[in-house]
Amino acid sequence: MNGNDRGTSAHHWLKGIVAILSVGGTVAFGSILGAHASSGGSNVVISSNPAPNQVVGVPPTQIQMVFRDPLASQETASTMGLSLSCNGTLVGLAQPQLGTDSRTVSAALTQIPPAGQCTVSWLLPDQSSGTFSFTSSATTETTVPENVDGTNSEGETPIIGETIPPSTFSGPRVGGVLGLLRIAEYFFLASIFGGIMLIFLTWPEGVEYGETLRFFRLTWLASVITMYFIVAISAMRASGKGLSESLSPFSWFDSLNTAGGILLLVRFGLVLSTVWVAWNPVRVLDPSTQVPAITILVAMICTFGFSRIGQNVALLTFVFGSIHAIAMAMWLGGLVLLSRTVLSDPGDEDLLNAIRGFARLSISIFVVTVFSGIMQVYLLDGQNIFSIGHGRLNILKIIVVAIMVWIGLMMRSFVLHRLEPETELKAKMAWRLRKAVSVQIVFAILALALTSWMVPMNPPQVKATSPAPTVAYVFRQELSNDRFSVIISITPATTGVNAMRIELLEPSRINNFTVNLIPQAIGYSGISIHVPLKRRGAAIVLGDGTFVLNAPGLWSIEITGTTTTGDLVPLGTTITVTDATATTTTTTTIAPAPTDTTTTTIAG
């Protein structure tokens, strides 16, 4: 056999092998496809509710499918894969239930689906699968309007015999300005109190210096101006009016009618009354005027210990808060008086006596300040000092105060040893001591800034409270988790027209505040209530026909909201709605409301 025959023979053999492999591959691939086809189920959905390509005007409360072939058991329905996605968002579904005909499968929606294109996907254990789509064009909603209209002549809106005041604290956000003013307020008031107490305790000669009198009078004027703007801006926030209208003191009494507002007015009154002492400090030394002078000063500073009045805090919080305010004011005020008057120029031995006297008092002041501050941290933050913002700010404040105490102790040691043999205050020594005192004042101002930052915050031990309704609601329940706390009240909790009160306790600010109610009865739509509250308070859905529970039985309630740090963990509960036609006794009467009014809001 020559080379050509061998090449032809090899070519034929190669063609034969390729043909055999092709036939074998085709048979094997066909077998695989046949095996796959034989292992897959053939069951299909012959009808559904909502139907494929249907446009629904009311959001469905369940998905219902009818299969061509019967399902083996409830276990088959329970283990099937079923999902619903609307507008790109997965919607929660309850466990599928098999009907008595063994072909109908129903699954209740655990939340109201968003409007848009909805797709249902299903997969049975026998690998039968399929999808169908429908469109949800509307959501049943009840929106609580932000504006309050239709109030009576006294500015109140009736609801089932209950009257609540209209919206408050709806003014502009001026927290930053108020924070700066609070720092200045405490600085000036502490300068008056601490400076006069230093004169009373260790430096009676101070009233003979013109610089001292000028210091107290200018500081008093600055404190009055600061307090005036604090009260005016607080009244503006409370009333929702403009600043020009809130500058009038005659408008303050209607706006600042809460516990915190009344405290501000009392403090302003006490600041005004200290003119009697600030313009003539000698009254604190005169035995005939000493007691009332000191009483006014102490009462003024003690108001800072009641900053959380109206909140649910322990009584000892106010006690230690007042003690802490007094100790801090004596410390800061003494430093400021030393810096601005005693150490401003060289002088005689009485200036040295003032410095030595403050140094001796400093140990007692340090101990009282630190102890009362630690007790406040314990009462307000408890074990959560590291886990929340208020506690972490307290840690930062403790560090700042510790540095200030260390500098103060170093200065005390220097004063008591270095100045003991001196008989006069020299210029160089005054400059060195003034430098050390100024550093302490800087740290004190930083501590005041942290305190001002923490005042509007809510420590974990402080439970926010909301005014209780003046009438009895049939259903009233408080729901809460780590960051979200709400009280929801509904009456009369029967089918038909109802009224609802939603009270926000936590957080202090909220967005997208929504209450969803979903009936478990098949064939009824749910309700989504959009609450306009942006801060703590309560909102009322009046019993005027805008809030209707159309199905008896168990309803699921889900409350959602968001903050600047993200979505809040939803709150949930259930309510049993009785059939109004089967109710023989009426426990609550829903009074008629004006036709143009559906809500009232109270903000805290």
Average pLDDT over residues 181-192: 92
Provide the pLDDT confidence category of residue 266 given band limits of 50, 70 and 90.
Answer: very high
Q: Are 424 and 311 in the same domain?
A: yes
Rounded CA gap, 278 and 387, in Å? Answer: 44
Asked if residue 253 belongs to a domain, the reply is yes
Residue 57 pLDDT: 67
Write the CB contacts of 339 (distance below 8 Å, at least 6 apart in sequence): 434, 437, 438, 441
Residue 603 pLDDT: 36
Provide the pLDDT confidence category of residue 209 given band limits of 50, 70 and 90.
Answer: confident
Residue 24 pLDDT: 47
Q: Are 153 and 239 in the same domain?
A: no
Q: Are 320 and 428 in the same domain?
A: yes
Q: Are 293 and 401 in the same domain?
A: yes
Q: Are 236 and 385 in the same domain?
A: yes
Q: Are 265 and 351 in the same domain?
A: yes
Asked if residue 340 belongs to a domain, the reply is yes
Asked if residue 527 belongs to a domain, the reply is yes
Mean pLDDT (the chain) is 78
Residue 41 pLDDT: 76
Asked if residue 462 belongs to a domain, the reply is no
Bridge partners, 118 (sequence order): 86, 134
Residue 193 pLDDT: 93
Asked if residue 35 belongs to a domain, the reply is no
- As for how many domains the chain has, the answer is 3
Question: Over the stretch 371-417, which tens digit does the pLDDT of each residue have?
Answer: 988 888 888 877 777 767 777 888 888 898 888 889 888 888 888 88
Residue 169 pLDDT: 44
Q: Are 475 and 450 in the same domain?
A: no
- 109 three-state secondary structure: strand
Q: Are 320 and 206 in the same domain?
A: yes
Highest mean pLDDT among 126-130, 235-239, 525-529: 126-130
Lowest mean pLDDT among 74-78, 109-113, 260-264, 363-367: 109-113
Residue 460 pLDDT: 67
* Chain centre distance of CA 6: 92
Give the tokens for residue 308.
């959380």
- Give the CA radius of gyration of the chain: 38
Residue 602 pLDDT: 39
Q: Are 489 and 583 in the same domain?
A: yes
With a cut of 60, say whether residue 466 has pLDDT above it.
no
Q: Are 226 and 243 in the same domain?
A: yes
Asked if residue 16 belongs to a domain, the reply is no
Average pLDDT over residues 31-59: 69
Provide the pLDDT confidence category of residue 464 given band limits of 50, 70 and 90.
Answer: low
| Torsion angles phi and psi, residue 416, rounded to 5 | -70, -25
CATH number assigned to the domain comprising residue 116: 2.60.40.1220
With a cut of 80, say whether residue 48 has pLDDT above it.
yes
Provide the pLDDT confidence category of residue 154 given band limits of 50, 70 and 90.
Answer: very low
CB atoms within 10 A of CB 467: 12
Question: Of the residues 454, 483, 517, which one is the last residue of a structural domain?
Answer: 454
Residue 234 pLDDT: 86
Provide the domain limits for residue 91: 45-139
Rounded CA gap, 437 and 128, in Å? Answer: 83
Question: Over the stretch 219-233, which tens digit does the pLDDT of each residue have?
Answer: 999 999 999 999 988
Question: Of the residues 421, 454, 487, which one is the last residue of a structural domain?
Answer: 454
Residue 267 pLDDT: 92
Q: Are 223 and 149 in the same domain?
A: no
Average pLDDT over residues 78-93: 84
Question: Of the residues 420, 454, 488, which one is the last residue of a structural domain?
Answer: 454
CATH number assigned to the domain comprising residue 589: 2.60.40.10
Across 260-411, where does the E strand assignment appear?
A: none
Select the more confidently predicted residue: 185 or 40. Answer: 185
Lowest mean pLDDT among 25-29, 348-352, 545-549: 25-29
Q: Are 205 and 249 in the same domain?
A: yes
Asked if residue 152 belongs to a domain, the reply is yes
Percent of the chain with pLDDT over 90: 17
Asked if residue 412 belongs to a domain, the reply is yes
